[in-house]
Amino acid sequence: MSELKFNNVSKRYQQTGTIVSALNGCTLELEEGDFVCVVGPSGTGKTTLLNIAAGFENPDEGMVTIDNEPITRPGPDRAVVFQAPNLFPWLTAAKNVEQGLKIKGLVRSQRKKMAEDILHEVGLRHALHKHPHQLSGGMQQRVGIARAIVMQPNVLLMDEPFAALDPFVRAEMQNLTLKMWKKWRTTTLFITHSIDEALNIGNKIAVMRAGKIEDLIKVPQTSLADPTAAARQSIKQHIEGLIESGVKHDRGN
């Protein structure tokens, strides 16, 4: 478990002659063991935030740190799960999970045991030796999550990992993610377009608007049990209000 901090981060991109400000003095703190879901309108900088935490991009201004160490490049302390699981098609599920462990230098017997254990944990006991094309989208994403978690990262970065899944599978994956987080308490940054998804799995929700975090809301754990609970409904309305007013503001209404 680690702290992940974004301190006044700005990032601009050049787009056919104009400068686009993706992040605009963005500050966000994930405490050890936090599961922070980031929601916000399209194009508001959510993926840019995650890419900088992953070390795929560097900020123009400000700093991102893990346990006060600046992030400048990708590293083994972070694992990323994308919308597309991007498995190696020629390798079995177990071998896909073993790849990162191989790079870490673990011997074959250790890698095999760890890959099998984690695949059991994500409900893929029966699919260890199957190739990606023999797995459903949800199963492939389970392998993607297993591959990330087996590395025991200090920080897990998830960019809309369930957006391509049907609602039933998506709910299953949310439950699985929650189960894994309760077990390992890995500090997690999770991007989603769905406020309901954020309410289902986050212990905090960061609302992003125009390249900044507008609000960081604690989610009471009781809200999970009942989707109609008043606390959950009022948080949802608050977030919808923030997003709606931001969209109007950005349109100049």
Ligand X SMILES: Nc1ncnc2c1ncn2[C@@H]1O[C@H](COP(=O)(O)OP(=O)(O)OP(=O)(O)O)[C@@H](O)[C@H]1O
For strand 78-81 and strand 155-159, is the pairing parallel, antiparallel, or unpaired?
parallel
Q: Is 20 in the site for ligand X (CB under 6 A)?
A: yes
Q: Which of 43, 74, 227, 241 binds ligand X (CB under 6 A)?
A: 43
CB of 216 to ligand X, least distance (A): 17
Q: For residue 138, what is the DSSP state?
A: H
# of chain residues touching ligand X (CB under 6 A): 12
Contact stretch for ligand X (CB under 6 A) within 12-20, 102-110, 161-169, 241-249: 12-20
The dihedrals phi and psi of 228, each to the nearest 5 degrees, come to -100, 0
Place of tokens 């809309």: 160
Shorter beta-carbon distance to ligand X: residue 15 or 68: 15
For strand 187-191 and strand 35-39, is the pairing parallel, antiparallel, or unpaired?
parallel
Q: x/- string (CB under 6 A) for ligand X, residues 44-83? A: xxxxx-----------------------------------
The dihedrals phi and psi of 74, each to the nearest 5 degrees, come to -60, 155
Contact stretch for ligand X (CB under 6 A) within 1-9, 43-51, 103-111, 229-237: 43-51
CB of 20 to ligand X, least distance (A): 5
CB of 34 to ligand X, least distance (A): 20
Shorter beta-carbon distance to ligand X: residue 36 or 93: 36
CB of 14 to ligand X, least distance (A): 7
Task: Yes or no: say if 39 and 195 are a contact pair by the CB < 8 Å rule.
Answer: yes
Angle at the Cα of 241 (from 26 to 170), degrees rounded to 5?
80
Shorter beta-carbon distance to ligand X: residue 100 or 162: 162
For strand 78-81 and strand 4-15, is the pairing parallel, antiparallel, or unpaired?
unpaired
Residues 6+ apart with CB under 8 A from 1: 32, 33, 154, 185, 186, 187
Shorter beta-carbon distance to ligand X: residue 20 or 247: 20
Shorter beta-carbon distance to ligand X: residue 38 or 155: 38
Task: Yes or no: say if 75 and 25 are a contact pair by the CB < 8 Å rule.
Answer: no
Q: Which of 9, 22, 127, 206 binds ligand X (CB under 6 A)?
A: 22
Task: Yes or no: say if 85 and 143 are a contact pair by the CB < 8 Å rule.
Answer: yes
Residues that bind ligand X (CB under 6 A): 13, 15, 20, 22, 40, 42-48
